[in-house]
Amino acid sequence: MPKLFGTSGIRGPADELFTNDFCRKLGAVFGTWLKSKNKTGFVAIANDPRESSPRIKDQIIRGLDLPVLDEGVVPTPALTYFVKNSPQIAGGIMVTGSHIAAHLNGVKLLVDGEEISKIHELEIEELFSNLDARRYSLDAINIKYDDSAKEMYLSLLRSLADAPYPAWKIVVDTANGAQTDIIRQLFIDLNLDYICTGFCDIQSPNFAGRDTEKPSDYSDLAREILLSKADLGIGFDVDGDRVIFIDQTGKFVPGDYTCTLLAKHSSSAVIVTPISTSSAIDHIGKRVFRTPVGSTNVAAKMKEVGSTFGFEANGGAVNSEIHFGRDGGTTAIKILNLLKKLNKPLSQALTNLPQYTIFRDKIDCPFSLYSKIYSQAEEIYSDKKIDNTDGVKVWLNDEEWLLFRGSGNAPEFRVFAESPDSNRSTKLGKEGLELVKSLIHPSNPLISSNPSDSLGIYKSILDFPNQCKQVIHDLATTHIPQQCYLAHNIVISGMGGSALGGRIVASLERQTLKILVTVSTEYHLPNFANEKSLVIISSYSGNTEESLSALAEARSRGCQIFILTSGGQLAQQARQFDLPCYIFSPDHNPSGQPRMGLGYNILSIIFLLARCQLIHPPAKIGDLPKFLSSRQSKFAQFDEFAKLLASRIPVIISSEHLKGAAHAVQNMLHENAKTFCAVFDLPEADHHLIEGLSYPPQLNHQLAFVFIQSAKYHPETAKRYPLTAEIVKKHHIPALFWQPVGDTPFFETMDIIQSGAYLSFKLAQLAGIDPGPIPWVDWLKEKLK
């Protein structure tokens, strides 16, 4: 018997699961099932505004052997309420994928004013398995187009509102979803002063898959609250059955906290909520029952224990006096009513609730591995109290817990951790996530000695000293024309890693450079480049189109030219036009990736300019390979560093001679670890960055500052580092310190680059990804051809 239903209805790829045949058969099955329950009225059907929903709805209708009321685009709770309060309605069908990605979709089946029960799901799955294919292709359909569901729901919301409200200013984000028109009209009717974000357009082609458990999905809403000095923000998901709130300070309030606030002030003495919600609900003086995740499970338990209020962590509250389904609209009105009654802003209304922090994260995982992960978790935590209501919930002590739970909607595994201490919840959650990753990817190099490194990135890191040694040997005897010695300025043209040599030279020699050095990362050269300029064309592959364009322009302007490459078209043109060049053989870069050949790129430029007496030769440069080899024995110290940075956005702070090295680390984090990274320098960042750490309010959960310190910085610059770090910490953002090793600024620079390469590799391992391939860069290059 096929498994159709997950935690919340039927979900899957719109084009692969919800084929026309599948949709027609589903319609036929639901119609047959309704008749078996003696329900023979209309079937009310509606959809959310995602692109695939109208087609799916149309095909389901074509399979239904019952009259149909097409209610158009309305929220799920509107259709649910309509089905409950319309005697002529046999059942309902809501076509919605809720917050999931645009290429996915879903279907919820309704009866008696709520989603069908788990028992009903099994009955429908059996029918689906046995239904004769010839029965679900109807030539004629009985359909009426109607807007009664929308009008009935809008009337409900008006009746619940305790208007008039105070002179609040409210910002609304409907995710371009089904609540859009209803909330706009409601707030006009209630005379509420409201502002919409750029995501309140039901006709918009831009799908906004808002996940109400992800604060980052509502960053635009938080920003608009601060800009407009609003009192409250309200954010819905696409089908409008869930809602979250952002207080007047721009702080995202998790759904289980606003629902706990409602529960505290509700008339229900018994509250029902899933096992994954915050423990705050257990401390409001009411009896609490926990269920498996899913609103149908919550509704079933509410009926069993006589509860009138239940909720999920996603902000989906269930009020039985209205209907047994999640309802974002009525929850929003109830919060407005409560804030009016308390005469407090939301931030103050929440202060009396126990303060916990929940870590929530997920990873793609085959359904077949769920049981293995559960078993391993139970074995590891066998000495702790374990709750198997849904997955494996481990009580570490009276206030801290871990939950391992496989999703019923998609092949992904979720890890939750809660603690009164936010740092502790993050630590526990990441440890749990690492356990799951180790079982999904047993080849993960953090768990296994067989890393997933298809291109040999790690081997190239180990060969970095040999790259430097090769360049020092080769360029000591390479012929350099006299004209290069006489340059009035230097332009280094390169992209990515090929430009880093120039950045590093500019950083290292900023106070001792005899002439101007400019790094150009464009198709064109700077306007001042002329016959008195030395233009260094640096491209590892020799085929970078920007470098080829710059070479053509340099030749047309009569510039002095020197080419640094391993081959390709640049090498061909160097030979064809007899241009000075260093064509190196990348013997010590087994990965073949330009970004891992930094020894060639950086040392080539530095050694070339030193040979031309345009910069001071770095002291003890012949000792560099030996120094770098010795430093590799200290790589292990960066393992813990990588763990502290995992799942965060690194913000690297450097100064003076290490600014170029910081850019090199940024490049490798982008390409190896596939991790976004920002780079700033002191003292300049102290004039603006430190004022930009407050908003969005979730920054403290996303950023991690890395301060690259050096005893060789100017004393006034060095003084700023602990003070700037203190400011960062006051914003509850982690501040890490990285002290390079080396007798000279140049050696410190190379130490940072080599250690940064290893750090990027370790971060890739932590994420369970292969650091070698760069699919988006390759895709873009292919499209540009």
pTM above 0.85, yes or no: no
Is the sign of the CA dihedral 435, 438, 441, 446 positive or negative? positive
**pLDDT (average), residues 133-150:** 76
- Distance between first and last Cα of the chain: 50
What is the location of CATH 3.40.50.10490 in the chain?
458-624, 629-766
In the prediction, which pLDDT does 698 show?
Answer: 86
SS3 state of residue 525:
coil
The mean pLDDT value for 423-451 works out to 71
Res 194: pLDDT:
96
Distance CA 702, CA 734 (A): 10
Quick count: other Cβ atoms within 10 Å of Cβ 376?
16
The residue count of the chain comes to: 785
Q: Measured between alpha carbons, how far is 317 from 302 in angstroms, rounded to an integer?
A: 12
Sheet holding 678-681, edge to edge: 678-681, 649-654, 703-708, 735-738
Q: What is the pLDDT of residues 54-66, one digit of tens each?
A: 999 999 999 998 9
Strand bridging mode 581-583 / 649-654: unpaired
Measured on CA atoms in the order 204, 205, 211, 216, is the torsion positive or negative? Answer: negative
Q: Domain 10-147 classified CATH 3.40.120.10? A: yes
CA 616 to chain centre: 45
**Choices 2.40.50.100, 1.10.3720.10, 3.40.50.10490, 3.40.50.300: CATH for 629-766:** 3.40.50.10490
**295 residue type, one letter:** S
- Is the model's pLDDT at 750 over the cut of 80? yes
Mean pLDDT of the chain: 90
CATH architecture of the domain formed by 161-349? 3-Layer(aba) Sandwich (3.40)
The per-residue pLDDT for range 87-104, each reduced to its tens digit, is 999 999 999 998 887 888
Secondary element (H or E) of residue 35? helix 20-36
Mean pLDDT lowest among 128-132, 342-346, 442-446: 442-446
In the chain, ranges of CATH 3.40.120.10 domains: 10-147, 161-349
Strands 143-145 and 68-73: parallel
Per-residue pLDDT at 137: 56
The pLDDT of residue 669 is: 95
SS3 of 604-628: the string is HHHHHHHHCCCCCCCCCHHHHHHHH
Confidence of residue 480 (pLDDT cuts 50, 70, 90): confident
Listed in order, the ranges of the chain carrying CATH 3.30.310.50 are: 360-440
Hey, what CATH topology would domain 360-440 get?
TATA-Binding Protein (3.30.310)
332 pLDDT tier (thresholds 50, 70, 90): very high
Residue 184, CA distances (Å) to 98, 170, 180, 188, 232 in order: 20, 12, 6, 6, 16
Q: Where are the beta strands (DSSP E) in 489-633?
A: 489-493, 516-520, 533-539, 560-565, 581-583
Query: Residues 254, 260, 262, 263: what is their CA dihedral angle, to the nearest 10 degrees?
Result: 160
**CATH code of the domain occupying 458-624:** 3.40.50.10490
Instruction: Using the predicted structure, report yes or no on whether residue 620 has a pLDDT greater than 90.
Output: no
pLDDT in tens, 641-671: 999 998 899 999 999 999 989 999 999 999 9
Name the DSSP letter for residue 91: E
Tell me: pLDDT of 139 over 70. Answer: no
Residue 545 has pLDDT above 90, yes or no: no
Dist. CA 495–CA 482, nearest whole Å = 27
